[in-house]
Chain A
């Protein structure tokens, strides 16, 4: 497979080429999947170093399964998101309790989120969102990141998280509610003055 063909080939075809001894196909897959998986893992784990470890491990699993990969079984990217999500979950479980936010324990905020967001700088916004994501329960965080930041469809997320589509909808809805609450709760920290 030549270079130009490889950049357009589907992931599964590249994986087959890799299994047949083509290292360039593997490098194209790295360029295609590596940054996406890293961004996802970094969002979910809130830690770049841990995200690198997870993505490296996930890619090694892909290389290992390459000779046995059957085209048509699953999308390579979906499979990789699933592996990465599981590795993230394992790491999060190993961490000590971080005081995750329970949506039921959050009081109804009375501030105006729209006004608060308008007054933030872009960096403040990015940091605020990451902080709020970090405070979400693990499953909600994974679902929200996959749906609203990675832009995957609910059926794809259901496949990655090994749950039903309705469960995905429920997780993202609860996650969004918790995010709103957490962000309004941080209004003072972000320099928002009520009024």
Chain B
């Protein structure tokens, strides 16, 4: 048969070639288990490790300043509260938990002088 000279011949040749491709598809070269194990080992070794976040100098200084501001703000507010309590006691009296009746306290602290609370 002189293939390529007519359409039927071409079809037959295509069919023959296709049968070879079928054989090739069902007989694919398969990798050996050792090779696949090597690929798996490569994969495990190549897993990106999480990079620890390094504190930069700037971050560290900022962090210290923040702590300093917080501490100074807290102690400043406390000092101001004590100062107001001494200088303008009337201003804080409505918020005081201490009442005229100090019996409860004097019962436990008999030697204490509570007269200042009654003024």
Contacts and interface: CB of A to CB of B under 8 A. Distances in A.
Provide the main secondary structure of the chain A interface: helix
Given A39-B29, A109-B3, A126 B40 contact: no
B116 interface: no
A56 B39 contact: yes
Interface in A110-127: 110-114, 116-118, 122, 125-126
Nearest to A116: B16
Interface residues of B, number: 34
Contacts, number: 124
Given A52-B35, A122-B27, A63 B43 contact: yes
Contacts of B14: 176
B28 interface: yes
Given A64-B46, A67-B48, A122-B23, A110 B2 contact: yes
B83 interface: no
Contacts of A191: none
Contacts of B4: 108
B64 to A, nearest CB: 32
Contacts of A59: 39, 42-43
Contacts of B50: 21
B13 A114 contact: yes
A27 B24 contact: no
Contact of B1 (A18, A51, A112): A112
8 contacts: A18-B48, A39-B29, A56-B35, A59-B39, A114-B12, A114-B15, A149-B21, A180-B3
Given A110-B3, A113-B12, 19 more contacts: A18-B43, A23-B44, A27-B44, A39-B30, A55-B39, A56-B35, A56-B38, A56-B42, A59-B42, A59-B43, A60-B42, A60-B46, A63-B47, A112-B1, A112-B12, A113-B16, A114-B16, A116-B16, A176-B17
